[in-house]
Amino acid sequence: MGVVTASTGHASLVGMGESVLLRGEDTARSVVGSCIGLVLYHRRAKVAAMSHIVLPEAAGRPGLPGKFADTAIPYMIDQLAKEGAHTSGLVAILAGGARMFGKPGPLQIGETNAAAVTAAIENLGITIRGTSIGGGKGRRLSFDCATGALTVEVAGESPQVL
């Protein structure tokens, strides 16, 4: 569990710190609060990787590659490259980074997470196709590799397709 897995037509649930690789008709779901759900998608190859990023940087801490922004993104790119999906054809979609319960405090890492992921993606020259960032509520994410659509649901609001 927790590593990129090859799947075909499967529905994956992406837990905290996990990354999954999706092809063809695969779908993936995740629920994020202050974490970031990041999708890197190659439209022509119909391949994508999705990570549930918990913290901005590893700094020697234990965890799966998908747990930290600075390890998740290189890992996803590496896995996608093995599938023939190179960085130049990728787009990024990201959602999450909420300030849960509307409270301040050292554990409110949402904004820092969003900034770290955005900066890393921009540094790689990958186009950010859509974002749903911030606020004070969780998000339910569903990604469909066949269409490249990431559906974002927030409690009490209409779903948004990115």
Partner 1 sequence: MHGHIYPDPAYHILHQVFQLATDNASTAMCRWTHGRVTLSLDRVDELPLESVATALEVGDELLTMVILTIDGEDNGQLIITFDELNGRRLAASLLHRDVCTEPEWTSLEMSALNETGNILGCAYLGALTHLVSAELVPSPPYFVQDFGASVLEQALMSQALTEDKVLVCRTGFHRDGENLNWNVIFVPGAALREKLESAVSMAE
- Site residues (CB under 8 A) for partner 1? 1-2, 13, 15-18, 29-35, 52, 54-55, 61-64, 67, 98, 100-101, 103, 105, 107, 109, 137-140, 155-156
For residue 60, give the amino acid letter: G
Output the smallest distance, CB 142 to partner 1, in A.
Answer: 9
Please say which residue, 44 or 103, places its beta carbon nearer to partner 1. Answer: 103
Structure tokens, 21: 């690789």
CA distance 57 to 10: 30
34, 57, 61, 92, 107 from 143: Cα distances, Å: 19, 25, 29, 12, 28
Please say which residue, 91 or 154, places its beta carbon nearer to partner 1. Answer: 154
Output the smallest distance, CB 18 to partner 1, in A.
Answer: 5
Please say which residue, 46 or 139, places its beta carbon nearer to partner 1. Answer: 139
Task: Supply φ then ψ for residue 60, to 5 degrees.
Answer: 80, 5
